[in-house]
Each structure stands twice: as structure tokens, then as C-alpha cells.
Structure 1
Amino acid sequence: MPLQYINEMLGLPELQLHKIIYMDAHQVHLEASPVTDKQPCPVCHSEQYVKRDGRNKLRKIRHLAVFGRKSYLHVPSLRLACSRCSVGFVWSYEFVGPKQRYSRLFRLQTVEQALGSTAAHSARMQEAPASTVQRMHQEALPAQSERLAQQAWRKAKTTEGLVLGIDDFAIKKGHSYNTGIHNLRGETMLDLLPGRKLEALRTYARQHPDFLALNPKAVVMDLAQAYHTWISECFPRALRIADRFHVHGYVTQSVQAVRKSVQSTLVPRAKAILKSHHRLLNPPADFLPEQSKAQLDLLLSFSPLLRKVWE
């Protein structure tokens, strides 16, 4: 195949191919050079006073596969000098970063594969070192994270009947708590802010106008007073909903507190039965098998107060 068609397949208009250095069943090595003779000076941004000042050894750059083979581009590392600014610099290629051995297109393809699976799988697909692919993945994460965050915020702003979720969590038990903001309809996390106290929440709202620009129909959260105060200030028209997980937890705690107070007043036999089967008081009766329902009815018969609170 003529080199001009190979050049089109590579998608690198800044280069012109000169020859195929080596090719076998697994890889192909191509020699190329820049199409232009000069580059602007990085200081004065002019080509008028720039001249070539020699070259270093060839750079070998891994690029996208060609004909099912790994491709390597051998390009010159040209030294340039600007007589006006008295500075020297090296030719900057658009298709590859400084001092890198993998082209931008190759890195992009490899990272996309890693995001869809794992770095180890992408390394096997590209026949590249797993440590190299892992490094590419880590370097690309900030940009990918920013892109996905912007996408999530755009979706939240245009969602009809937007429902937000506000919840606190600690990455590790005993650590300080953070607050997560979620788009429950879009099933995406919008942001994560440190702390869960009211002042920290108000500071976040002041510093993030995109959050205040949202128009949620409802906001789901736990029963923490700080969250309810914050949401009522930011979105006074939004319906505030206490999520059932936390409500059920508080109800269960109240029932168990009454159980403990009643338990101490019972005869030893009833006290032992109530203590050993106290977990039957937690789930709704509809979810219990028949045998457990009978056992639950026995527990409730020990105290009218316990039955009244449970019901």
C-alpha cells in the first residue's frame, strides 16, 4: 500500500511518512518527519527568527494498530533556536506529549478500554505493560471525572421533576462524615462535600451557584435537622421527604427502647423469651413466616404497652 494511504489511516496530518523501516506479522515500524520546516518560538510566538539547530536521536512512538499490527513511528527530535529570544527548544508534536513514548490517540484508546473493563484487560488487548496502562488510567482520571461531573450536572438541570438525594457517610468507620448530593432520577452522584454541619452546607451553597440553580421537585434525606434547614433555605418550594431507611431505623430504636424498659419488669421466664427473640419486633409482621408471627404475638402479649407501641 502506498505510504500516502497509510498516512491517512494513521490520522496524523502533521507528519509525512518516508519509508517502512521494518514489518513482520506482529508489528510495523514507520519513519516519519514533520510536514513543516519550522515551529513558532514558545516565547515570542514567531517563526521569523527560528532556525534548526541540529537533532537528537529518533523518538520511537507507539501508535494505533495498522493492518492488525502494532505500529511504531520513528520521528526526529529536532532542536530549534530563536535568535531574537536567545532560547533553544525542541520540536513539539501534536500527536504525542513531550518525553512520551505513546501517542495521544493510543493513550485515549487504551484509557477508554480500561474505563470499560480493567487496566489489566486493556494491557492484554494492547500488548502493553500493565503498569504503563495503569499509569495512563490514573493520569486520565481527573479529566474523565471532570467530564462526567459536568455531564451529570447538565442532566440534572434539564431533568423534569428532579428528585435530589442528600445523605451523609464516612469512608471509614470513625472518620469525619461527608455529604453526598445525588440525582435520584438520573441515578448519578452530583457532588461530594466535606462535613455535614449546617455552616459547612451553607458555605457549599454559596460557593456553588450551579447547585442553587437546580429546581428539584423533591429532596430525599434523613431526619437530621441540619439537612432540613439547609434544603428549606436553598429550595423552599421543594418537597422534603424523609427516606424510609432512616425512618424505619428510628422506629426500630424506639420499639427496642420500650422493650428494654418492659423487659426488666417481667418474670424471669418471660424476660428470657423476650430477650432472646427481640429481633422479631424489628421487621413488619407481613414479612414474617407463620411460626415467627406466632412467636411475635407471644412477645407482644407480655405487655399491653409494648403491643401498643409496636402497633
Structure 2
Amino acid sequence: MNSHFTTLLLDLTELVISNVERILEDFFVHADPADRFQKCPHCLGEDVIHKGIAYQRTVRHLPAFGRRVFLCLPTIRLLCKPCGATFIFDYACVEPGKRYTKQFVASLPGHVVGATVKHAAKQTQPPATTVERVFKQWMEGECKQVQAVCTEQALESNQLVLGIDDFACASTIETEL
């Protein structure tokens, strides 16, 4: 099996895929980090040694070919010689302590828009509470972005008209009027 194409297909260039197995209706992709070197997060020292693998971590990734995909990542224990700190290898594709890859989390709001959280959770199969939390976080960012664009357009407008149901947020708008 050529793991290079699997790596490209799953958009996981930081990983080297060693094995892909199908269990029932799911794919389990066993992978290792492409670069096994990592600086110490405490002192940024480069003299780090591997202390072994604590366990295999399983995280959910984007679906492929209509099936769920799980990444099986080794939890590599590291030790920094200069400061003596021990830490776990940090993968760029998944947040520490999370069960889903960043790409999977980023895809969830797209399932909720135009549907319900319950329907999106049924389609993507994480808990509805997870989908709701991710959607609310996404909405906070989107609201700030939309408000910034609207405020900028209002400031640039020469003929700003407020209707009965409209309101102004910024005090700078009032001074422009």
C-alpha cells in the first residue's frame, strides 16, 4: 500500500501512515509523526529524548468514501534534558486532549447551517452537545466579523438611514451623522 497517496487524500502531511484497516464500517488509520523531533514547550530546548509510547490515541477525522475515519496516533512521551520537563508529543492536526481533528471540528458548522444541531449530529455522529458547542464558538467569531464589516460599511456610507428596526452599535457612527 502506498501511504503517500493516503496521506495526501486525508490531507495529513505531518503524518506518516503505516497501516489502514477497516473494522466494520469504519477506517482506522495508524500513523506516526513525520518529524519525530519537537522542542521543549517549557524552555524551548532542543536536547529532547524519547521516553517511549504511553498509549495509542484514537481521534476522529473527516469521513472518506462515505465511512468514518479514525486516526490512531501514538502518545509519545518526551523528556527535555536541560530543564527536566516531561511532555507529550503535540500533533498539529489535533488539539491536546481532544477527540476530533481540527479539520473535523472546522467542518461541523457547515452541517448545522440550514439544519438543526440534532440533524447535524445525526449526520456526522459526534454527540449533539459537541456539535452545539462547536457551532456556538463558530457563531461568536462570525458575529464579530459581520459586525466589523457592517460597522465599516456604515462609516463609509454618506447617506446612512436607520429604520425603525435598525440600531447603531458604535458611538463613532453617531458622530458621523
- Equivalences for residues 1-311 of structure 1 within 5 A: 2-24=2-24, 26-47=25-46, 49-159=47-157, 161-164=159-162, 180-181=167-168, 191=169, 205=171, 212=172, 231=174, 234-235=175-176, 238=177
> Structure 1, unaligned stretches of length 5 or more?
169-179, 182-190, 192-203, 206-211, 215-230, 239-311
Structure 2 length-normalised TM: 0.86
Distance across 1 between alignment mates of 2:66 and 2:121: 16
Distance across 2 between alignment mates of 1:38 and 1:124: 39
How much does 1:58 deviate? 0.9
Bigger CA radius of gyration: 1
Structure 1 length-normalised TM: 0.51
Q: RMSD value over aligned CA atoms?
A: 2.4
How much does 1:33 deviate? 1.0
Equivalent pairs: percent with the same residue? 29
In the alignment, is the contact (CA less than 8 A) between 2:45 and 2:82 conserved in 1?
Answer: no
Cα distance 1:53–1:145, how it changes in 2: closer, same or farther (>3 A)? farther
In the alignment, is the contact (CA less than 8 A) between 2:62 and 2:103 conserved in 1?
Answer: yes
In the alignment, is the contact (CA less than 8 A) between 2:17 and 2:30 conserved in 1?
Answer: yes
Distance across 1 between alignment mates of 2:64 and 2:138: 24
Distance across 2 between alignment mates of 1:3 and 1:160: 58
Distance across 2 between alignment mates of 1:165 and 1:40: 57
> Structure 2, unaligned stretches of length 5 or more?
none
**1:30-61 C-alpha deviation (Å, 9 max, x unpaired):** 101110011111123232x1111222211111
Cα distance 1:68–1:91, how it changes in 2: closer, same or farther (>3 A)? same
**Does the residue aligned with 2:17 lie in a helix, a strand or coil?**
strand
Aligned length: 177
Distance across 2 between alignment mates of 1:3 and 1:67: 17
**1:173-195 C-alpha deviation (Å, 9 max, x unpaired):** xxxxxxx42xxxxxxxxx4xxxx
**1:93-131 C-alpha deviation (Å, 9 max, x unpaired):** 111111110111111111222133221121122122222
**1:260-300 C-alpha deviation (Å, 9 max, x unpaired):** xxxxxxxxxxxxxxxxxxxxxxxxxxxxxxxxxxxxxxxxx
Structure having the larger proportion of residues in helix: 1
